Structure 1
Amino acid sequence: RLQRGEGDHLVNAVQVILDKKGLSNKDKFTFLDCTIGLGSDSMVVSYGYPQAQITGLEGALPIWLATSHGLAHYIHSEDSVTNALRRIKVNHDTFEHYLPNLPDNSIDIIYFDPMFEVPVEESPQFKPLRGHTVESHIDDKIMAQAMRVATYGVIIKERPFSSVFQNYPPHQWVGGKYSRIGYGVYMKELM
């Protein structure tokens, strides 16, 4: 979609944070994907923001091995996509362990894409992974840690009716009016 000049909701959510901080889409920033999984969301951010320094966390060893190997070795037919993959660093860790060890205001944007409370049945690529993933949830402690570590803000991807958005209403919602998933944007200065 980005190659065709079409929008992407995650890229738009990142841009909301950059705009509110008075930054352009050319400014450097750090991005922590707390739930990288197979890396698709980090790939989109890396492609959309080549200047971003992206780190991902994956707690499940088999998924971390596959994702880190693929990002380091897969060669796409387009160099811009291959370059986007190589810019992503992946650590074998969970956000519950990783975030408390980071200093205040040390990552510009923190991103969460936990396994959906109600799975999207039309996403067959995740069916084989269920049962092999680290099932993490966002609670008061994690939100407090994320906001402490974030310099600019936090983005959470979930279904609109999820308990995470009921418990932590976002400052801004990014997604289609009838979208089954969306992105809650939380600005640091508003928390």
Structure 2
Amino acid sequence: MRFASGLGWRTDGRLRPKTRPDLLRMVSPPDISPATTAVTTSRGSDPTITARAEIVAKELGCPMLRRGGLSIAEVRDSTGRENLIVVTTEQVRLVAGGSVFWFHPNMARSRIEAMLRSEYDRLVEFAGVTTGDRVFDATGGLGSDAIVFAHAAGQSGHVCAVERSEILSAIVRHGSRYYEHRNREVIKAMRRVMFTCDDSSELLKTEADRTWDVVYFDPMFDVTYKTSQGLDLVRRLASLEPVRPGAIDQACRVARRCVVMKDREEGERLKALGFRDISQRGKLAYGRITM
């Protein structure tokens, strides 16, 4: 079996999107949403891959086109959609303009491997996540932190990762089901995460008091992507809306132990939202409200 490796987006080695000649018709599409996206498969796909693609298309409300021997450009032209989700044996890829993005656990893999060596994970320790815990990740994103939480919580725990972006949520949800790696602990943790697409601020309102041990926020930072061009596609997919005070209030209501949020090293957003217990180290700060 071929194991995936490297970044979950194609780059030229300097964190810039790598381009392909057949994908250059539109280098910077203005919108990446179900309305501008179609679903297809890899060339020569079997019925299993086709069925997976049909599920993705149905969930997103996108047209599904059987690939056959067509190139990506030909598939895109035939659908009139600027962006394609391509389902393969081990990946669910987004092709947008000249960039390709797919699910990859990224730092979650090395963090779990470090934890297996009994090394310290800063976020897990700060949030106090242990075996059997229930963790609500209100900003699922690429899923890396949720996967690490799932490893820490173990088989008896429960981790829900909520992502507002329909396209990003679909790629992470389905990609995490089929991603393979030789480290089975990483795979087991990944498969345990319940990835869902929703507005976490609204979803929190429906949760009963003290339902989750930990509620976690990791808002996307504009400044991060000024020097990380390879992540530009992810930035355009994810919601850039700031975390509102109302969401923190709801999180405090449903959390049994604590609410944790990530911020840049200055921690200004944390302070503005009422976080007083702040851990600052390197380029990141974590804030905690203890119940």
Give the TM-score of the pair, scaled to structure 1.
Answer: 0.83
Residue 42 (1) aligns with residue 146 (2): yes
Confirm or deny: 8 A CA contact 1:12 1:174 kept in the other structure.
no
CA distance in 2: counterparts of 1:150 and 1:117, whole angstroms: 28
CA distance in 1: counterparts of 2:230 and 2:180, whole angstroms: 21
Q: Using the aligned pairs only, state the percent identity.
A: 25
**Structure 1: where are the runs of 5+ without partners?**
19-24
Residue 82 (1) aligns with residue 180 (2): no
- Note the alpha carbon deviations across 1:75-131, whole angstroms, 9 max, x for none: 211111110111100111011221111111111110000112532655455322122
CA distance in 2: counterparts of 1:33 and 1:91, whole angstroms: 10
CA distance in 2: counterparts of 1:126 and 1:36, whole angstroms: 16
Structure with bigger RCO (C-alpha 8 Å, 6+ apart): 1
CA distance in 1: counterparts of 2:157 and 2:286, whole angstroms: 19
| 1:139 Cα deviation after fit | 2.3
Shift >4 Å, 4+ stretches: 120-125
| 1:6 Cα deviation after fit | 2.7
CA distance in 2: counterparts of 1:76 and 1:187, whole angstroms: 36
Confirm or deny: 8 A CA contact 1:58 1:93 kept in the other structure.
yes
CA distance in 1: counterparts of 2:233 and 2:116, whole angstroms: 29
Return 59-68 or 45-54, whichever deviates more: 45-54
Matches within 5 A, 1:60-139: 60-119=165-224, 121-139=226-244
CA distance in 1: counterparts of 2:198 and 2:165, whole angstroms: 8
Report how many residues are paired. 177
Label 1:97 to 1:64 Cα distance change in 2 as closer, same or farther (>3 A): same
CA distance in 2: counterparts of 1:163 and 1:127, whole angstroms: 24
Query: Secondary structure at the residue paired with 2:214?
Result: strand
CA distance in 2: counterparts of 1:120 and 1:12, whole angstroms: 27
CA distance in 1: counterparts of 2:185 and 2:280, whole angstroms: 26
| Number of the residue aligned with 1:182 | 285
Label 1:48 to 1:58 Cα distance change in 2 as closer, same or farther (>3 A): same
Letter in 2 for 1:131: R
Letter in 2 for 1:14: A
Query: Secondary structure at the residue paired with 1:10?
Result: helix
| 1:163 Cα deviation after fit | 3.3
| Number of the residue aligned with 2:118 | 5
Label 1:110 to 1:61 Cα distance change in 2 as closer, same or farther (>3 A): same
CA distance in 2: counterparts of 1:56 and 1:32, whole angstroms: 6
Return 96-105 or 112-121, whichever deviates more: 112-121
**Structure 2: where are the runs of 5+ without partners?**
1-113
CA distance in 1: counterparts of 2:153 and 2:280, whole angstroms: 19
1:157 to 262, 277, 281: 262
Confirm or deny: 8 A CA contact 1:171 1:186 kept in the other structure.
yes
Q: Which structure has the larger Rg over C-alpha atoms?
A: 2
Query: Secondary structure at the residue paired with 2:243?
Result: coil
Label 1:42 to 1:167 Cα distance change in 2 as closer, same or farther (>3 A): same
| Number of the residue aligned with 1:22 | none
Label 1:113 to 1:184 Cα distance change in 2 as closer, same or farther (>3 A): same
Return 5-14 or 109-118, whichever deviates more: 5-14
| 1:171 Cα deviation after fit | 4.0
